[in-house]
Each structure stands twice: as structure tokens, then as C-alpha cells.
Amino acid sequence: MSTALDRIDRAAARFMQRWSLGALRISMGIVFIWFGALKPFGLSPAEPLVLATVGWFPVMDGATWLVVLGWWEVVIGLAFLFPGTVRIGVAMLAVQMVGTLLPLVLLPEVTFQAGLVPFGLTMEGQYIIKNLFIISAGMVLGGAARQETPIKRARVARAAQRQAPGPARGFPLTSYACVASQASSIATGGASTPTLIPPF
């Protein structure tokens, strides 16, 4: 690979490494808020499929479950928008995905073409199967919740510098150690040649 192409490739990789997780998290948030908000207002094209799936659920009727599911998805989306609540979003997503995949089992006549189970998906079936990508994306975000990204490392470094005493605030530790060594040498009557002392 030529030098110019290598520089472009490295720059693109650094850009994606820096911003990919944030972009994925915000994208998940937008999609879940958008899709979820449609359900309580009767605007979701998935409403018939959802009603057919949750019709046998206990406690509430199908229409109420549809509203609950919609707001549940909105909360998932809101949780993904903020780094500190990603774990909550992932946990809620895991619960929601169980219900999302149920029509493949409960309504094969809706999710598969006649005589083509389990490969011939209908439009509804494809709508459900695409959730495999969402599950994988949730796993990526959940796995990265404790991962040190470049942005996190920079934040931690800045916070440590603000909280550190004297020498760490804009004064190199090696220089501080050098001055301390020189002052000690002079006080004891030794040579005044500064000696670098490792900071750790």
C-alpha cells in the first residue's frame, strides 16, 4: 500500500475508532424512540402484527400492551442516548427482543410464506429477522460499556490532572523530581548537579 493510501487508511480507522460507538449508540436511541413513539398514537405499520402477538398476554388487552410496548421502546431509546444509562438500555432491549421474536413461533402463517417454513420469510418475517442486527448492536454497546475508549482515556487523564496536587498541575513530574533532588543535594553539602528521579 502506498504511503498516501496508508495515511488515508490510518486516518479513516482512527476516525471510525473514535466515533463509531457513539454513532451506534445515538442511532439506536433515535430508532427506538422513533419506532416506539408511533405505537401509542396508532401510527405504527407493525400494529397488526404486534396486536396478533400480544393478544394472549395476561393482565391487559392487546391495545394496552401495544401502548406499553411503545413507551418501553421509547425508554430504551432514551437510555441509549446517554453513556451512563447504556446498561439499562441493553437490559431492557434483551427483554423486548424476546417478545419481538415471538411471532416467528406463534404466527408462522404470518411470518413465513405458505409451505416455505422456515426459509421463505414474508415482509413481516423480514421485519422481525432484521432484529438480529439490533441484538448484535446491543451486545457491542453492552460490551463496550466498561471499555476504555480514546475519549474516555482523555477524560480520565484530564480529571486526574485537575485533582492531582502541585507538581502534576502543568509541571512535569520529571522536572519536579529534578528540582527536589538538586535542593536535597545542596542542603546536604553535596554536588549541585541535578539528578533526574523517576516520578514513579
Shared-domain flag, residues 134 and 183:
no
Residue 160 domain-assigned (yes or no): no
Shared-domain flag, residues 107 and 193:
no
Q: What is the mean pLDDT of residues 95-103?
A: 94
Q: Which domain holds residue 194?
A: 172-200
Q: Is the pLDDT of residue 183 over 50?
A: no
**pLDDT digit string (tens) for 118-133?**
999 999 999 999 999 9
**pLDDT digit string (tens) for 144-166?**
988 755 566 677 778 888 887 65
Task: Give residues with Cβ within 8 angstroms of 180, minimum separation 6.
Answer: 197
Shared-domain flag, residues 178 and 139:
no
**pLDDT digit string (tens) for 9-38?**
999 999 999 999 999 999 999 999 999 999
Q: Is the pLDDT of residue 198 over 50?
A: no
Q: What is the structure's pLDDT at 180?
A: 47
Shared-domain flag, residues 145 and 87:
yes
Q: What is the DSSP letter of 121?
A: B
Task: List, as one string, the DSSP characters of 2-45.
Answer: -HHHHHHHHHHHHHHHHHHHHHHHHHHHHHHHHHHHHTTTT--T
Domains contained in the chain, number: 2
